[in-house]
Amino acid sequence: MSAPATLNVDLDALVANFRALEAVGGVPVHPVVKADAYGLGAEACARRLAAEGARTFFVARTSEGEHLRTGLGAGPAIYVLDGCLAGRAGRLREADLRPVLNTDAQMAEWRAAGGGACGVQIDTGMNRLGFRPEAAPEPFEGLDLVLSHLACADDPAEPMNARQRDAFAAAAARYPGTVRSFANSGGIFLGGDYGFDASRPGICLYGGGPEGRPDDRIRPVATLTAEVLQVRDVPAGESVGYSRGFVAAAPRRIATVAAGYADGVLRSYSPRGLAFAGGALCPIVGRVSMDVCAVDVTGLDVAVGDAAELFGPNRLLDDAAAGAGTVAWELLTSVGPRVTRVYAG
Ligand SMILES: *Cc1c(COP(=O)(O)O)cnc(C)c1O
């Protein structure tokens, strides 16, 4: 193993998910690669997806767009979801980024700098970013994309989904000929009338299911593994880790694994978290500390230098997230900078 803790990224699986999302949605997929492609590495993921035909990408921040432009070179369109913040137009233009304008102030900022290709976000009920439909701008020169974002796409039974879809269809009708982008990962699976002209998935590209649980149409992409640093026998009655977070009721065999909360093993992995080691899913016991966690490998053949899997094909991302009381999005974006990213495919 090259490093104590490794995030292995299977780029072929990323492409398989990209194709699956194209097939299900029936419209071009515009990958969301914000937050360093959810921690997997925006440059590596976007370059591969561009080679597979993706022509348009989304990031959140101007700085993310600047890095991505350097990584991708000229050609693909890169939209910045933050829009055009005060004083930011020059940087956007310099890196050939397209702001997704959210407010009149952003419109004015972009126009004052000369304008150019950009998008507009319509808020159809999430009350996060974008123009309310009744306050949306008139069509204008440079506008080439209109988008809105679903609040409850991971829940197909939620009636708000259809309300947002209809509100978006009505609002977008003001901009004939402009690309309409609506569905995130979950939205792609809600049905053909959520497709519009282009989708905007993130989590399903990276291996999370559209409804926050594993889905066999989506392949695991990221695998977080860490090396076993030490294996010890803990007698009954002794404790493991900080604050005596785990007390052995019977003799246990404990592997100390080289991944802690600085690496993305959230403290909430304990007490319900599991790691795959020695061919089985094993409880993570006691408090997760900054650099290591303790895995109960009693009865298993586990030695120093072996790998323990925190999530991946043997411990699916959504299950690992549920075990930690969170969602796949947070789990992936929590993988720390000292974890080595290794690419295959
Ligand atoms: C993050 C984000 C997405 C991607 O969402 P997923 O649920 O990860 O597919 C799409 N659109 C917008 C506006 C976003 O902020």
225-277, pLDDT tens digit by residue?
999 999 999 999 999 999 999 999 999 999 999 999 999 999 999 889 999 99
**What number is the average pLDDT over the span 73-79?**
97
Amino acid at the residue 37: A
| Residue whose CA is at the smallest distance from ligand 1 atom 13 | 149
- Told to judge if 343 belongs to the known catalytic residues of this protein, a careful annotator would answer no
**What number is the average pLDDT over the span 106-115?**
97
Helices (H), 99-196: 104-112, 160-172, 185-188
| Of the listed ranges 1-10, 86-95, 276-285, the one predicted with least confidence | 1-10
Report field, pTM of the whole predicted structure over 0.85: yes
**What number is the average pLDDT over the span 138-145?**
97
Mean per-residue pLDDT over the chain, rounded: 97
CA 171 to chain centre: 28
Residue 2 has pLDDT above 80, yes or no: no
pLDDT in the model for residue 3: 83
Closest ligand 1 atom to Cα of 200: 10
Helices (H), the chain: 11-25, 34-38, 42-51, 62-72, 89-94, 104-112, 160-172, 185-188, 317-323, 328-333
pLDDT in the model for residue 189: 98
Closest ligand 1 atom to Cα of 329: 8
- Told to judge if 79 belongs to the known catalytic residues of this protein, a careful annotator would answer no
Q: Ligand 1 mean position to 238 CA, how many Å?
A: 46
pLDDT tens digits along 10-40? 999 999 999 999 999 999 999 999 999 999 9
pLDDT in the model for residue 1: 47
pLDDT in the model for residue 322: 97
Give the CA-trace dihedral at 261, 264, 270, 274, to 10 degrees: -140
Q: Ligand 1 mean position to 48 CA, how many Å?
A: 20
Composition of the chain by helix, strand, coil, percent to 5: 30, 25, 45
pLDDT tens digits along 283-326? 999 999 999 999 999 999 999 999 999 999 999 999 999 999 99
Q: Ligand 1 mean position to 194 CA, how many Å?
A: 14
